Amino acid sequence: MTLSEFQRLIRETFGAKDARRGVEGTFMWFMEEVGELSAALREGPREELAREFADVLAWLATLANVTGVDLEEAVRAKYGGGCPRCGQNPCACGTAKP
């Protein structure tokens, strides 16, 4: 499944509810899922960790849908040529975060 296909699946499945919730409510759910991912990274079993990554990605896609952002295009535009600063892959400018 591509990122665009995933974003479309989330929109088709939850789009009406997401639109009613709006950006602020959706962002709060996204942050809750990031918190759950944080806990799973510290102490959760691998299966839980995978589920939390999926939830965070789903809520990120939801935020993108609510705000009209095409995630695949945004990722391609920013990272499609390698490092956004130096254009190299791997990054050669020393700005990559550890």
Find the CATH number of the domain harbouring 24: 1.10.287.1080
pLDDT at site 59? 98
Tell me the C-alpha to C-alpha distance, in Å, between residue 13 and each of 17, 47, 72, 92.
Answer: 9, 23, 19, 41
**Spacing of C-alpha 1 from chain mean position:** 15
The answer to whether residue 84 is domain-embedded is no
Residue 64 is given by DSSP the state: H
Domain extent for 37: 3-67
CA–CA separation, 33 and 69 (whole Å): 20
Q: Considering its fold, how many domains does the chain have in total?
A: 1
Percent of the chain at pLDDT > 70 equals 96
The answer to whether residue 92 is domain-embedded is no
The answer to whether residue 82 is domain-embedded is no
The answer to whether residue 63 is domain-embedded is yes
Per-residue pLDDT tens, the chain, 98 aa: give them. 999 999 999 999 999 999 999 999 999 999 999 999 999 999 989 999 999 999 999 999 999 999 999 999 999 999 999 999 999 999 999 754 55
The answer to whether residue 20 is domain-embedded is yes
pLDDT at site 97? 58
> Are 31 and 60 in contact, with CB atoms under 8 Å apart?
no
